Amino acid sequence: MAWGSGSGSGISAFSSSSERSARPTFEPDRVVLGAVAAVHVAHLLCTAWVPGLADLYILDSRVYDEMADAFVASGFFAGDEAFGHAPLYPLWLAALRRLSSWPLIPLVLQVAMGVLNAALVGAIARRVFDARAAAPAIALYGLYAPAAMLETKLMASTLGVTLALAALRLLVETRPGVRPGACVVAGVALGAACLVRPNTLLFVPFAALFVVVARGGLRAAGAWVSAALFLAGTVLVIAPVSLRNHVVSGDFVLVTAHGGMTLYQSNNEQAEGIYSPIPGAVGNPRVLAERLREQAEAESGEAMRLPEVDRMYRDRALAFLASDFGRTARLLGRKLRFWFGNDEVSTEYTLPTERALTPTLWLMPVPFALVLALAGLGLHRAVTARRFGAPAAVLAAFVLANLASVLLFYFSSRYRLPAVPVLCVFAGYGFSSVRERFEAKRWDRGGWLVLGLGLAVFSWLPISDDADRYAFHQWYNYGVAQHERGEFEAAVESFERALVGMRDHWHVHLALGRAYATVDRLEEALARYRRAVEMRPQSRNAREGVESVRARIEGRGSP
């Protein structure tokens, strides 16, 4: 199998077929891209139409909002600690806010990025495989609802995907004869992607190795120069962040300082493979690091800097992973199952909740199970047809690096998202190969069909009820945010939706009691407060709520 055989034949076939006809030809990928753009714009309009939804920030989106405000007020060197969250997205938000405070501006641009991402998926599929793979690849990614959902949220996911796909698009064009400067640009794009999603750093060495192979191989001096230029572009982008971290904190922190804490959050006695609060600490991302520092200082009896705290929790996580091989294997297996599963488990924003608010997400029905099944067929076809060249290999390496980061930390739908457009490239090729077999009525031994159906069924089988559970948690988080900004009727509705699936959570009863009391629904408020007291008698807020509401009811009854 020749490394270079994967991409050139597809391009040649497409070029020769184009040259045979001087008449304009129907280009399905453009039509599909236009349909994708229409659907994504419709979802943006639907999001803007729902009152208060476009700027309803929870968890990480609130962190990005606050970081952006800090950058606007104090500049790049705001704060006195190394970055706890990747900084490029809030920097981008800050730049936009200097132009306008209209909250829809980043969402409009993110929807445009989402359409661009679909176009990049098609371009990569055309370059790595053939023209027939482009349209289905665009359709699969463009109609994948989790991607469109995050385009209309103040989340870094869409920007991260755009930068990663831009880097991959440049990388798959790397070959002898292409100007080395293109390697620098690819490195800059990948470095920027690392400043949005730091786990992308795992892919950097594989990308550099690909540049060496694609530019002539291990014995070609020019190939190593190209790889060095690629890495220089990556370092050029990341270095200012590392320098800023050192200036403000005195410690060397490459991008973010919370990797060890997240590693422990992902690998401890109570870890389940998805997000769960660290034992003994709240899960709110805005205050988590400080709570962990307080916990560490209480144990050590001395003041600690955040990098020291981070190292302490990193060591605890590594000790946990090394202490019991069977337990570690089960935890990794659970993370692996989540990554391959169709369930879109996510901490911040979930499809059930967002589809209830914005029905336009139902226009994007492609499930992950379908993408995975067709990607498996595409990979099978590429290998058996000797089309698995270096460009296909670097795409596969990107997916594996994403999977490795999930195994190292924990699964969330948005953490898997960067791998989905790359899987759609393979899936587009898989779809075109299935279509060719149907058109030719050529079934061979049918092993390919068993492979595809097996992957789809494996992915579709339910893992747990976590996806629904997180949907109810999102309603609760929405209620908290709405109550904080004075939208009390909306908060009541959100808390009521949350209570359907969280009746065993005392704090939901407490929050709903407070919301009912605010809108003067006192009898219902008293019932919720009393339930909160029954579930958690030591809660001072719940007991005071009962007394306060009871006094208001008695006051109404007095002459």
Q: Is residue 83 part of a domain?
A: yes
Q: Is residue 371 part of a domain?
A: yes
- How far is it, in rounded angstroms, from Cα 343 to Cα 332? 17
Q: What is the 3-state secondary structure (H, E, C) of 53-91?
A: CCCCCCCHHHHHHHHHHHHHHHCCCCCCCCCCCCCHHHH
Q: In this structure, how many other beta carbons lie within 10 angstroms of the beta carbon of residue 75? A: 9
Q: Same structural domain for residues 456 and 470?
A: no
pTM over 0.85: yes
- Residue 198 structural domain: 5-250+344-460
Q: Is residue 328 part of a domain?
A: no
Q: What is the full DSSP assignment across 420-467? A: HHHHHHHHHHHHHHHHHHHHHT--TTSHHHHHHHHHHHHHHS---SHH
Tokens 């070609």 correspond to what residue?
A: 220
Q: Same structural domain for residues 419 and 524?
A: no
Q: Same structural domain for residues 375 and 425?
A: yes
What angle separates helix 221-249 from helix 204-214, to the nearest 10 degrees? 160
Q: In this structure, how many other beta carbons lie within 10 angstroms of the beta carbon of residue 278? A: 20
Q: Is residue 202 part of a domain?
A: yes
Q: What is the full DSSP assignment across 259-288? A: HHHHHHHHSSTT--SB--PPTTS---TTTH
* Final residue belonging to a domain, choices 460, 481, 508: 460
Q: Is residue 9 part of a domain?
A: yes
Tens digit of pLDDT at every position of the chain (559 positions): 334 434 444 434 434 444 444 455 557 889 999 999 999 999 999 999 999 999 999 989 999 999 999 999 998 887 778 888 899 999 999 999 999 888 899 999 999 999 999 999 999 999 999 999 999 999 999 999 999 999 999 999 999 999 999 999 999 988 776 777 889 999 999 999 999 999 999 999 999 999 999 887 777 777 889 899 999 999 999 999 999 998 988 888 899 888 888 898 899 888 889 987 776 666 566 567 777 777 777 887 788 877 788 888 899 899 999 998 999 999 999 999 999 999 999 988 999 999 999 999 999 999 999 999 999 999 988 988 888 888 999 999 999 999 999 999 999 999 999 999 999 999 999 999 888 877 776 666 667 778 888 888 989 988 888 888 899 999 999 999 999 999 999 999 999 999 999 999 999 999 999 999 999 999 999 999 999 999 999 999 999 999 999 999 988 754 4
Cα angle value 256/270/506 (rounded, 5°): 100
The two three-digit tokens of residue 277, written as one number? 């609060």
Q: Same structural domain for residues 395 and 472?
A: no
* Final residue belonging to a domain, choices 460, 491, 525: 460
Q: Is residue 260 part of a domain?
A: no
Q: What is the pLDDT of residues 411-453, one digit of tens each?
A: 999 999 999 999 999 999 999 988 887 777 666 666 777 888 8
Asked whether 95 and 189 are in contact (CB, 8 A), the reply is no
Q: Which CATH number belongs to the domain containing residue 532 in this structure?
A: 1.25.40.10
Where is 546: in which H helix or E strand? helix 540-557
Comparing C-alpha atoms, which of 140, 130, 123, 134 is closest to residue 372? 140
| Mean confidence (pLDDT) of the chain | 88
Q: Is residue 333 part of a domain?
A: no
Q: How many domains does the chain have?
A: 2
Comparing C-alpha atoms, which of 234, 224, 174, 169 is closest to residue 201? 234
Q: Same structural domain for residues 429 and 486?
A: no
Q: Same structural domain for residues 519 and 446?
A: no
The two three-digit tokens of residue 370, written as one number? 């379908």
The two three-digit tokens of residue 51, written as one number? 């009152």
Q: Same structural domain for residues 453 and 401?
A: yes
* Final residue belonging to a domain, choices 460, 487, 514: 460
Q: Same structural domain for residues 28 and 64?
A: yes
Q: Same structural domain for residues 121 and 33?
A: yes
Asked whether 47 and 53 are in contact (CB, 8 A), the reply is yes
Q: Same structural domain for residues 377 and 476?
A: no
Q: Is residue 398 part of a domain?
A: yes
Q: Same structural domain for residues 473 and 392?
A: no
**Beta-bridge partner residues of 365:** 144
The two three-digit tokens of residue 543, written as one number? 């007991």
- CA torsion sign for 289, 292, 298, 299 is negative
Q: Same structural domain for residues 191 and 66?
A: yes
104-108: which pairs have CB atoms within 8 A and are 24 or more residues apart?
Answer: 104/48, 104/54, 106/154, 107/44, 107/47, 107/48, 107/54, 107/151, 107/152, 107/153, 107/154, 108/44
